Structure 1
Amino acid sequence: MSAPERIPARGVTSSAESPSPAQPSIEPSAELLAEGELTVRGRVREASNAVLYCTVSYEGREAACVYKPVAGERPLWDFPDGTLAQREVAAYEVSEATGWGLVPPTVLREGPYGEGMCQLWIEGVPGSELLALVDGEEAGEGWKAVGFAEVGDGKTALLVHADDERLRRLAVLDAVVNNADRKGGHLLPAAEGRLYGIDHGVTFNVENKLRTLLWGWAGEPLTGEAVEVLGRLRDVLDEGGALAAKLSALITAVELDATRERVAELLRTGRHPEPSGDWPAIPWPPV
C-alpha cells in the first residue's frame, strides 16, 4: 500500500477579504463575544450562508471572530427557517458540558445585520494529517477506513481518517447533537494540540441525520471516558438539569427530547453508531 496522500485539514480554505485574523491578547470570555463591539472585516466567500469575519472589542480586549447573522441563512427543507444560529450555540453548550471543549466559544447576540451567532475565530495549524486517500483496501496503521472515493479517470481510493482520540471524542459529540454535516473542512487543528469542530448549524434534528467523515469507529465499543461523559450528559439533560435549561432556549422541546434519546441509546448500546441507511452517510462535498 502506498503512503497516504494528505488531504488538507480544512479542505477548501475559507478566506475573508481582510488581513490575517488577529489572535486575542488574553483568553477570550463569553462576555467579550456577547458584549463587545463587532466590526465586520470581510466575508468568507466559500460558505453557503452569510459568514462574516469580524473583530470584537470590549474593555480593552479584542479577538477575531465569526458572525453568522440569521438574516443571511439560506432556507433548508428539513430545518425550520432562521434557527441555524441557535443550533450552533446549542452545539457549543453540549460541547462545554462534555468537558472536551471541542467547539470554539459561541454566543447568540445582536450584530450589524441583526441577531446571529458569534464564535471565536480559530486559526488552524498546518501540518496535522487528519484525512487522507490511500491506494489499496486497508487503512494502514494509525488510520481508520471511511469508504472508497472517486479520484478521477475512473479510479478510486480509500478515504481514511486518523485514529486520533480527539477525532473520536468529536465523533461522540456529533452523535449526540445529530450533526448532519461533519466535513473535513470543519475540522480545525489548533495550537497546543487542540482540535475544534466548527459549522454546527444543521444539528439537533429529530430524525436521524448523522452525516460525517468520522465513521471509522462505527460499531466499535465506546471508550470508558465516553461512557462516563455520556452519563454526565444524561444527568444535566434531565428536566431541571443545567444543560436542559440552556438548550430549551435554543432548540424545541421535541428536539431536546430527541437529544436525550440519542444519549440514552448510546449508553444502552455502548457503541459508536453506524450509518442508518435511511440518509446519505457522507456529507457532500466531503471536504
Structure 2
Amino acid sequence: MSAPERIPPRSVTTAELLAEGELTVVGRIRDASNTALYCTVSHDGREAGCVYKPVAGERPLWDFPDGTLAEREVAAYEVSEATGWGLVPPTVLREGPHGTGMCQLWIEGGTGPELLALVDGEEPGEGWKAIGLADVGEGRTALLVHADDERLRRLAVLDAVINNADRKGGHLLPGAGERLYGIDHGVTFNTENKLRTLLWGWAGDPLTGEAVEVLKRLREDLREGAALAERLAGLLTADEVQATRARVDDLLESGRHPRPNGDWPAIPWPPV
C-alpha cells in the first residue's frame, strides 16, 4: 500500500497573521501622539513586526468622536486596497494585550529618491513641486517642496478621498524596491472638509487618466450594498461613508486635484 499523499501546509496570509496571530509587545514608539506599540505577531510558524495602537491609548480630539481612530486607520487601508495602489500597509482591527486596537504590518524603511526638501528661491527646480515658504530661523525662509513623483500623486488622490487631516512628511514611508506607503490615518473620513497635507503641489491640476479610472471604480465599490461600502459601514458612520462617496463624485466632476479651501489650515504642524 502506498503512503498517503502529504499535503503541504497552507501558508498563513498577512491578514490572518495580523488578525489571528499572538501579539507580543516589544516596546513603545515614543514619537507617536497616541499610544503606539511595536510588537511581534506570530501564527503557525510565521512571524512579523507590527504596530499595535489600542483604542484605550487614543487621546480625545475635539473634532473626532472618541475611540474611533483605530477604525479610521482600518478604513483607510480598505479604501487604499480598493484603488489597487496598495498605499497603506496591511491593517486590521483586533483584540490585543491592551484591548481592541489597530494592528498594522511594520514596514522596514527602504531607500529611494528624496521626497521633501527645502530650497532657496521662489520657484521649485525641475522634478519638484512647491508647497510653500517655511521659516528656517534667523529671519530666513526657504521654499518647502515635494518630489514630482507619481507615487506621491496617487497618495494625494487617496488623501482627498479619505479626507486626511494630517499628511505629514514623517507619514511617508519608502518600502522595499520602489514601494511608498502612507501611515498614520487616524484623523480621516470626517464629514467636514479637513484635508491638510504637504502634497499640495498638484492643487488645481487635472487628474491623471489613471486616477480618473481608479475613482470611477471606487465610485462603484462605494455604492450602497457593494462590498467595500459594507466593510466601511462597520468602521464609520453612515454619514461618513456618504461623505466619502460625495468626495469621489466631486473629484470626478471637477477632474482636478482639490485646492485648499481656506476654512482649515492647509498644512499640518509640524509639517515633518
Residues 1:40 and 2:29 aligned together: no
The amino acid across from 1:83 in the alignment is T
Q: Residue 128 of structure 1: CA displacement?
A: 3.1
Aligned to 2:197: 212
The farther-off stretch of 119-128 and 129-138 is 119-128
| Equivalent-residue separation in structure 2 for 1:128 and 1:80 (angstroms) | 38
| Equivalent-residue separation in structure 1 for 2:101 and 2:113 (angstroms) | 31
Higher relative contact order (CA 8 A, sep 6+): 1
Aligned to 1:184: 169
Q: Is the 8 A contact 1:28 1:63 kept in 2?
A: no
Aligned to 2:156: 171
Q: Is the 8 A contact 1:144 1:160 kept in 2?
A: yes
- 1:193 aligned residue (175, 178, 188): 178
Q: Residue 125 of structure 1: CA displacement?
A: 1.5
Q: CA RMSD in A?
A: 1.0
Other structure's SS at 1:170 match? helix
| Equivalent-residue separation in structure 2 for 1:28 and 1:40 (angstroms) | 21
Q: Residue 192 of structure 1: CA displacement?
A: 1.1
Residues 60-103 of structure 1 show CA distances to partners (whole Å, capped at 9, x for unaligned) of 00000000000000000000000000000000000000000000
Residues 209-262 of structure 1 show CA distances to partners (whole Å, capped at 9, x for unaligned) of 000000000000000000000000000100011110100000000000000000
Other structure's SS at 2:71 match? helix
Equivalenced residue count is: 262
Runs of 4+ in structure 1 off by over 6 angstroms are none
After superposition, residues 32-111 of structure 1 pair within 5 angstroms as 32-111=17-96
Q: Residue 277 of structure 1: CA displacement?
A: 0.2
Taking only the aligned residue pairs, the percentage that are identical comes to 81
After superposition, residues 267-286 of structure 1 pair within 5 angstroms as 267-286=252-271
Give the gaps of 5 or more residues in structure 1.
1-25
Aligned to 1:112: 97
- Structure 2 length-normalised TM: 0.95
Other structure's SS at 1:39 match? strand
Q: Is the 8 A contact 2:52 2:101 kept in 1?
A: yes
| Equivalent-residue separation in structure 2 for 1:209 and 1:168 (angstroms) | 19
Aligned to 1:11: none
Aligned to 1:249: 234
- Structure 1 length-normalised TM: 0.90
- 1:128 aligned residue (107, 113, 126): 113
Q: Residue 147 of structure 1: CA displacement?
A: 0.4
Aligned to 2:187: 202
Q: Residue 141 of structure 1: CA displacement?
A: 0.3
Q: Is the 8 A contact 1:56 1:62 kept in 2?
A: yes
Residues 1:137 and 2:132 aligned together: no
The amino acid across from 2:220 in the alignment is D
